[in-house]
Amino acid sequence: MAAANCLLPIRNPFEESLEAAMLPNERISLDDCHLRYYRYGDSSVAAPAFASPAYLKEFAHMAAIGWTQPNDTINWQCGGSLIWENYVLTAAHCTLDNGVPPDVVRLGDINIFSDKDDQFAQQLTIVQIFRHPDYKFLLSYNDIALLKLEKNVILHETVTPACLWIDKEIRFNALEATGWGDTGLALERTPSLLKVTLKPTTNQKCGEFYDINNRQLTDGLKETQLCAGDELMDTCPGDSGGPLQIKLLHNGKLSPFLVGVTSFGAACGTATPGVYTKVSAYYQWILQTIQSQENNVFDWSLEPINCALRYVRLREYEDDVFDSRSENMFYFDANNAHMHFAKRGDLRHKVTIVWKDDRRKNCSATLIDDDTALTLAECTSHYGVTPSHVIVDSNGKKIDIAQLIVHPEYRENFLYNNIAVLKLKERVKFSEQVTPACIWHSREIPNSQVEVAGIGRIDINTPHFSEKLDILFFPIAVPLLPRLTVNSPQNCTIPEEFHSRLTQGLAAEHLCVGDRLFLVPGSCTLLYGAPTQRQIWRNDRYFTYAYGLNAFGRDCGFGEAAIATRLISHVDWLKTVLLPNFHDGQSAVQFINSDWKENDSCDFGYNDEIPGICTHYTKCSKVWNDFKANRRVNFCSSAQVICCPRRFVEHKLSQEQKDELDNCRTDYQQFHPEKSSFYNAKGFAHTIKYERLLQNIAAVLDTGQQSRLVVLDNRSIKLSD
């Protein structure tokens, strides 16, 4: 079942009418898109809603591990996680208690000491225990085990296996731990399942909390272990074997992924990080152990996407689609889901950039006119080879590239000024299926919610808002339009792999978008050069406005930010390229502050952010050359005072100083001998020892003498015989 647009169009942020809709053939503005292409605007949208039974699905994988006592009561000592329909993952140290192994597992029960919530509880006998072969009870290494149950569980929203995080990298800034452990040091065990949010920390920092002579850690913390903690919250005794997890988004649902197994820690409530066995380090052992016992488990069975799809119908919905609750039903608005497929009309302005040898696969461009598209500068060349043509995605038409115009200040392998203009050899014929995007002409964005063009698999992104719908394995990639939020630079988490290309950090030209939720790996990839966009209501129609071009980021901005190159930051350069008359008159000039006078500090808007100074144009040849070349120039108080980068200011001599230098020979001829000798002291009467220079300067300052000074190499010295 397809969902509607993920974001409703913004309602009319403009105050205007169609009175000025008659346009000249020659384009004179980049802000006439809504008039020039008015007939291609949309006029309606729709938003479906769904309902579902209300079950507590958050802890459906959580297992209580118990020891049956002689009086037939059960001592619940550890936790675990259901990861296959008859296997529970736990800590190896939970497989014996005073030499006795556990014999029972209980699932689907939040309060293990009450029968009020036992409607969906399932209790099964443990028939076999698999400890990791390298585990030793006196140590805390390889602290992981599998418990085989007597039969498969009955799958239900309240009893469903969790998935495994199998990547070595732990990308998450927060994880959740759950358990029935003690609520604090010397406090009683909680009868109801509790969860705490913990922050991962490095093993090096974590090791500071544990004595190097710790008998459990004879070799210190290893890469197969990870630490997580919080100043106020922690896992406690009784939580051992329980999950350290993250919920990942897919299909409009959230699936729990196990990142760690609770191993050990200091007394809970002491703000000391707990130590967890890293699940990814033991993925192959887990897989091979289950395969050795079961015939229906394949190498791909436990992979993230396959696990997510297998149990999608049983998972809880993402929070944003929740609308209301009535009796035993939850109601959902699919329009609020984060991930949506791009329908035929959503990316009518996107074209795919192609090389003859197909050397790069993920470069797109955004049509802004019938013969012009914008893309990233990095998409104009790949190892020195330029692309040959584009494919108009809506109809598959192939059009050769006529010209590539790269921003003049772009530098290869850096993420500044990453923008280019792509001119086509023939004009695109616009229709309801192929239309241009409009350029957003303001730094202010009218709504913090935006759409980001991406690509991802059909199966893992198909919205699942019907309990009767099954998601089939179908790994075909299609365009996506996830919903993200605009973030401030201070709240922008950039993946480590991009830091080397951002030597000066984020700049004003970067638009940061993202969401706190992480995706199941492989769900969505950014389309580089495609737009970060939003539909906007203008002149009684909906038009797609591009705020920026997707530049870099992982997983389409989920969990960690995605960055777009803002178009408004480069609109003046775009005008010089795209508007034929933009170079005339004052069109390349911007007056930034009429109050700034010569020698005042100013901001000239260059990317290196070195301070500028208001300077007469004759003293700044760099900016004067920019002006003559029709590049942007910022003026201060008059047409002769420009904002010049300080490093380009030329320190010219005054006419009086020039005259004094020109007349040097005649003015001081009496002091120069006709012939000089290296041994004739007067032959070097113009030289002054450093110590004497300082003394003379001090004397002038002390006496206030009005001595003549000449500027030489930016230093002032007193002339003397």
DSSP string spanning 469-503?
PPPP----EEEE--EEEEE-GGG----GGGGGG-T
Closest among 192, 282, 264 to 227, alpha carbons compared: 264
The residue written with tokens 């992924």 in the block is 257
- Report yes or no: 388 and 379 within 8 Å, Cβ to Cβ: no
The helix (run of H) or strand (run of E) holding residue 664 is helix 664-667
Of 140, 240, 280, 523, catalytic = 240
Neighbours of 679 (CB within 10 A): 6
Of 42, 109, 143, 333, catalytic = 143
Neighbours of 313 (CB within 10 A): 18
CA 45 vs CA 33, 37, 200, 451: distances in Å? 21, 19, 43, 15
- Report yes or no: 335 and 5 within 8 Å, Cβ to Cβ: yes
Cβ partners under 8 Å of residue 608, min gap 6 = 504, 645
Strands 253-264 and 163-164, by their bridges, are parallel
600 catalytic, yes or no?
no
- Report yes or no: 77 and 238 within 8 Å, Cβ to Cβ: yes
At residue 125's C-alpha, the angle toward residues 123 and 129, to 5°, is 130
Task: Classify residue 396 as exposed, middle or buried by CB count within 10 Å of its CB (0-12, 13-18, 19+).
Answer: exposed
Q: Rounded to an integer, what distance in angstroms lies between the CA atom of residue 112 and that of residue 89?
A: 19
Go through the chain and tell me how many residues it has. 721
- Report yes or no: 384 and 412 within 8 Å, Cβ to Cβ: no
Going 77 to 83 to 88 to 90, the CA torsion angle's sign is negative
Instruction: Fill in the DSSP letter of residue 143.
Output: -
Of 34, 93, 464, 616, catalytic = 93
Paired residues of 352 in beta bridges: 364, 391
570 catalytic, yes or no?
no
Closest among 172, 181, 173 to 233, alpha carbons compared: 181
Q: Rounded to an integer, what distance in angstroms lies between the CA atom of residue 513 and that of residue 532?
A: 9
DSSP string spanning 588-651?
TEEE--TT--TT-EE----TT---EEEEEGGG-HHHHHHHHTT--EEE-SSTTEEEEEGGG---
- Report yes or no: 123 and 55 within 8 Å, Cβ to Cβ: no
Neighbours of 441 (CB within 10 A): 13
- Report yes or no: 131 and 92 within 8 Å, Cβ to Cβ: yes
Q: Rounded to an integer, what distance in angstroms lies between the CA atom of residue 104 and that of residue 100?
A: 12
Closest among 256, 242, 243 to 315, alpha carbons compared: 256
702 catalytic, yes or no?
no
As given in the structure block, the two tokens for residue 579 are 């508007």
The residue written with tokens 């509880």 in the block is 121
Q: Catalytic residues, which ones?
A: 93, 143, 240
